[in-house]
Amino acid sequence: MLNNIYNYIYLLGLNTIRCLKKFGKRMKSAVLRPLRAIATLIFTALIVVDKFTLKTFHEITADVKSLFGNTKRVLSEAKADGTVTRKDRVKKFPLYFQKMWRLYKHVFVYAGNIVLPIISFIIMLNVFFACTDRTFALELTYNDKVIGFVKSESVYKDARKQALERLQIKSGDVTAENAEQELIGNAEYSLKAVKLSQINDAETICDSLIENSNCEITNACGVYIDDNFLCAVKNETDALAVFDNILSEYETDDDSSVSFVENINYVQGFYPDNENTVWDARRLSEKLATKKSAARYYTVKEGDTVSQIAEECEVSTADIFALNPDIKENIHVGQRLLIEKDVNFVQVQITKTETHTETIKYSTVKVNTDTLYVGDKKTVVKGQNGEQTVTELVTYIDGVRVSSKEVSRITTKEAVDEKIQVGTKRNNFGGYYNFSYSGAKFCWPGVGATVISSRYGKRSLNGWHNGIDLCRPGGNSTGAPVVAAESGKVVYVGYESMGGNVIRIDHGNGIQTLYAHLKSGSTCVRAGQTVTRGQQIAQIGSTGFVTGPHLHFEVRVNGNRVDPAPYLGIR
């Protein structure tokens, strides 16, 4: 571009000389001579300028091209060399700059001679404006009147847009095609140096545009709900009173706050002076008392379900049940369901603090102990639920709870863990017995007596057997421990002619167990004593009517003897 400028200047000089020559031929000789002398001087000056100034410029231009070419080449080579890391490239940068400075020092000096004066001039202007409290701004002229100053054209455009929105609000007296031109025309602006205090914002310019427009306007307070204009009220106090009266109808506690869900703004300014735009307090109050949207209902048809209705109406099933607490899953044809509640024109939001008590469930801790037999459990510490006081910040909209946020949670009563001892002691003397039988109601009563010598039912020896006989493998059963098949209360300890030494235990619900042929002197419980499952009560013996040492075990239900096999988990 610089070469083009040079060429343009050079050609301009040559063409000037040619024109002067043509012009001189038409002049008289007395006038022509001075002109020739001036032309000679101009031509000489151009040659001097070209030789001394532009020659340097040409040289600098060539060196600048060379500098950029070398820089581009070095950067390309550095990127192409994958062995050189980015950190190494940064380290080499000072060396490269030093080399470029040596080769193109005059280029940097020449650039500095041009750039530094420009920067200095800019700094000087800023210092001047800062010291004099002045700056450049656009002076706006509208309808032959200066209405203010703005920093940029965008501020004016924003102000004009606001003015049009205000004047077009429900005015109904202009068409969309020529609305902008008729309501607010375009202002003229020019650049001026003004004081900072004279700069105006968009709202001030907006008011000035409306005030100097050709429309019938009035100064009023505009009411905006969620940034949408509703109306203008001439007295701002009247507008505030209408909204305050709505809030005052809701009684609240000291720690509650009442506000509108919608964002209510009051904008004082100029508005079209017509009945569609400017309302009185009574009309505003009546409007706010209306509904923004009406309630929506659905009438149940044949084959409808709650989920189908929710999908069709684009709501959740939870919302339907919440709005219709009287319905269940079964709905009937013709039933009218509330799908959406009506919504007030302005909704009141109440936020307050509420507290309630929550139960802390106790935990159950099981502790193994060898003081109890396997399958036995004993509660040593009874569990107790704790309590917590929960404080929440709850929000209600038009009386309906919509959200809550937990603020604090304080434990007022600690939960007490329930501790249960679980038996690990095994009655497996001789390695024959382990009473963890699947499906067994009772544990095995004869420790190590895993041989069933006689089952319940009919037998050839004496016709009918009322229980089951157990003995150890090999026949040496005398002295083997006898344990309670289930926890209960000992109701009889004594001697019978057929059973010999006998113990009978009541387990509740009409169920009793009997242990017979016990070894003399081995009984270690008494009548009225409470025993636990697996607790030793005696030893196997051969008292009573027997052919050898064994344990006779019976189960009685409501006084009737039944087969003990199902209770012991055997078939």
How many other C-beta atoms are found inside a 10 Å radius of the C-beta of residue 350?
20
Q: Where are the domains of the chain?
A: 2-105, 136-215, 228-292, 295-341, 349-421, 433-568
Looking at the chain, the whole-number percentage of residues with pLDDT higher than 70 is: 71
Tokens of 14: 């040559």
pLDDT at 508 over 50: yes
Strand pairing class (228-233; 217-225): antiparallel
When pLDDT is cut at 50, 70 and 90, the band that residue 191 belongs to is: confident
Whether the per-residue pLDDT at 560 is higher than 80: the answer is yes
Q: How high is the pLDDT of residue 179?
A: 43
Lowest-confidence segment of 42-56, 73-87, 207-221, 342-356 by average pLDDT: 42-56
- Of the pLDDT bands very low, low, confident and very high (cuts 50, 70, 90), residue 50 is low
Q: Are 539 and 522 in contact (CB under 8 A)?
A: yes
Average pLDDT taken over every residue of the chain:
79
Q: Which two tokens stand for residue 81?
A: 């060399």
Could you tell me the strand order of the sheet in which 257-260 lies?
Answer: 257-260, 348-360, 386-397, 400-413
| Percent of the chain predicted with pLDDT > 90 | 23
Amino acid type, 245? N
Query: Right CATH number for 433-568 from 2.70.70.10, 2.60.40.10, 2.40.100.10, 3.90.1010.10?
Result: 2.70.70.10
Q: What is the pLDDT of residue 340?
A: 84
pTM: predicted TM-score of the whole model, two decimal places: 0.44
Sheet of strand 228-233, all strands in order from the earlier edge strand to the far edge: 264-272, 217-225, 228-233, 278-279
**Has residue 13 got a pLDDT over 50?**
yes
Residue 355 contacts residue 391 (beta carbons within 8 Å): yes
Q: What is the pLDDT of residue 569?
A: 78
Q: Which has the minimum average pLDDT: 41-55, 189-203, 234-248, 383-397?
A: 41-55
Say if residue 553's pLDDT is above 90.
yes
Strands ordered across the beta sheet of 134-142: 145-150, 134-142, 188-195
Q: What is the pLDDT of residue 302?
A: 86
pLDDT value, residue 120? 72
CB 400 within 8 Å of CB 342: no
Q: pLDDT class for 60, splitting at 50, 70, 90? A: low
User: Hey, is 524 helix, strand or coil?
Assistant: coil
CA end-to-end distance (rounded Å), the chain: 110
Average pLDDT over residues 500-510: 95
pLDDT in the model for residue 79? 67
Class of domain 349-421: mainly beta
352-388 pLDDT, tens digit each: 888 999 999 999 998 888 776 555 677 888 989 999 9
What pLDDT does residue 546 have? 87
pLDDT of 80 reads 67
pLDDT band at 504 (very low <50, low <70, confident <90, very high): very high
Give alpha helix (H) positions in 26-54: 29-48
Residue 171, pLDDT above cutoff 80: no
The span from the CA of 312 to the CA of 296, in Å, is: 13
Please give the pLDDT value at position 170. Answer: 47
Structure tokens given for 53: 């100034």
Residues whose CB is less than 8 angstroms from the CB of residue 191 and which lie 6 or more positions away in sequence, other chains included: 136, 137, 138, 139
pLDDT over 70 at 64, yes or no: no
**pLDDT tens digits, one per residue of 414-453:** 999 999 888 776 544 333 333 344 456 888 899 888 888 8
CATH topology of domain 295-341: Membrane-bound Lytic Murein Transglycosylase D; Chain A (3.10.350)
More confident call, 22 vs 481: 481
More confident position, 64 or 397: 397
pLDDT above 90 for 314: no
Q: Which of 76-80, 190-194, 388-392 has the highest mean pLDDT?
A: 388-392
| Least reliable range by pLDDT among 106-115, 138-147, 377-386 | 106-115
pLDDT at site 435: 38
> 532 and 484 in contact (C-beta within 8 Å)?
yes
The candidate with the shortest Cα–Cα distance to 537, out of 496, 491, 569, is: 491
pLDDT above 70: residue 462: no
- Which of 167-176, 334-343, 358-367 is predicted with the least confidence, judged by mean pLDDT? 167-176
Residue with tokens 């802390």: 360
The most confident of the ranges 48-52, 442-446, 491-495 is: 491-495
Residues in the chain: 571
Lowest mean pLDDT among 69-73, 206-210, 264-268, 514-518: 69-73
Pairing assessment for the beta strands 400-413 and 386-397 based on DSSP bridges: antiparallel
Average pLDDT value for residue range 502-526: 95
The predicted model gives 549-568 an average pLDDT of 92
Tell me which of 46 and 349 has the higher pLDDT. Answer: 349
The whole-number pLDDT of residue 431 equals: 32
164 pLDDT band (50/70/90 cuts)? confident
Which range among 129-138, 264-273, 332-341, 503-512 shows the weakest confidence by mean pLDDT? 129-138
